[in-house]
Amino acid sequence: MFSDLAFFSFVQLDDDSLHGAYNRWHQLDHRPENLALPGVAWGDRWARVREEDPAHAADSAFADTDFVAMYWFRDPVEHSVDAWDRLGEASFQWGRGPIIPGVERKLLAFFRPVKGYSAPHALVSPYVLPFRPNQGMHITLTRYPEPHGLDAHDSFRWEDTELMPELLKVPGVAGGWTFSFSHAQKHSTLPFADTVSHQPGELRIRLLYLDGEPESTGAAIRGAEQQLAAEPSVPKAGEVLFSSTLSTIVPWRDW
């Protein structure tokens, strides 16, 4: 395992006119500063693809998410996150974020990687997938009220042995990772609002790496998920809070 901890941020912008400035800040300032830290193995951010038949819950707090960012941390993760925190404070003192008007962060949380998967055509191992170029992602955030109950256990088994193998067959899916909620971000100095208060394992993320065109690949993923979900043997545990295709943001072109 090249990383034992990952951070996810779900971002919503109050005004569409802010997208250009936010993208420029993140891609030319914030992300490069983060990637230069020795304890950050990799990180990126993707834009939400507005699909005709969104799979997220209509009343979910995450329904209006515009961007998803994530970072992988190297061991020792405590030192890596501490240095990352210090960079956030330094950036604020420089007048360069990360607290920016109009930016609402719906999720700021750390997750433990559970398992990685690679599609045969990708050739690389799951541990290399984060570094492999992609056209986007497909992300699903699910809540399990009893994260260590038998229903959750059965759902995790099904995801690993039946769902993920089928999703890896979808053209344009290069692989994926699953993650289990560890704890919400509590920055040592910056006044970020609390976003979640769940117990460990209550939230789970399934992240698929796409090397196909995001919109069509996302539609194929939803079709495969719906077909599998129709089978009577599928476990019914878990509430999907957010599920969407994400597109890679090309600097200058997609701002």
Mean pLDDT in residue range 212-218: 97
Return the pLDDT at 42: 97
Q: Looking at the predicted structure, is the pLDDT value of residue 45 above 90?
A: yes
**What are 19-29's pLDDT values in tens digits?**
999 999 999 99
The DSSP-derived string for 147-162 is TTSHHHHHHHHHIIII
pLDDT band at 57 (very low <50, low <70, confident <90, very high): low
Cβ-proximal residues to 58 (8 Å cutoff; 6+ apart), any chain: none
CA distances in angstroms from 30 to 18, 33, 41, 72, 92, listed in the order given? 16, 5, 15, 15, 11
Per domain, the residue ranges of the chain are 5-248
What tens digit of pLDDT does each residue of 176-206 get?
999 999 999 988 888 787 778 899 999 999 9
Q: What pTM did the predictor assign?
A: 0.94
Q: Which CATH number fits domain 5-248: 3.30.70.100, 3.90.1300.10, 1.10.8.60, 3.20.20.70?
A: 3.30.70.100
The mean pLDDT value for 101-118 works out to 94
Q: How many other C-beta atoms are found inside a 10 Å radius of the C-beta of residue 252?
A: 9
Q: Which two tokens stand for residue 252?
A: 């200058």
CA–CA dist 185, 108 (Å, integer): 5
* CA-derived radius of gyration, the chain: 18
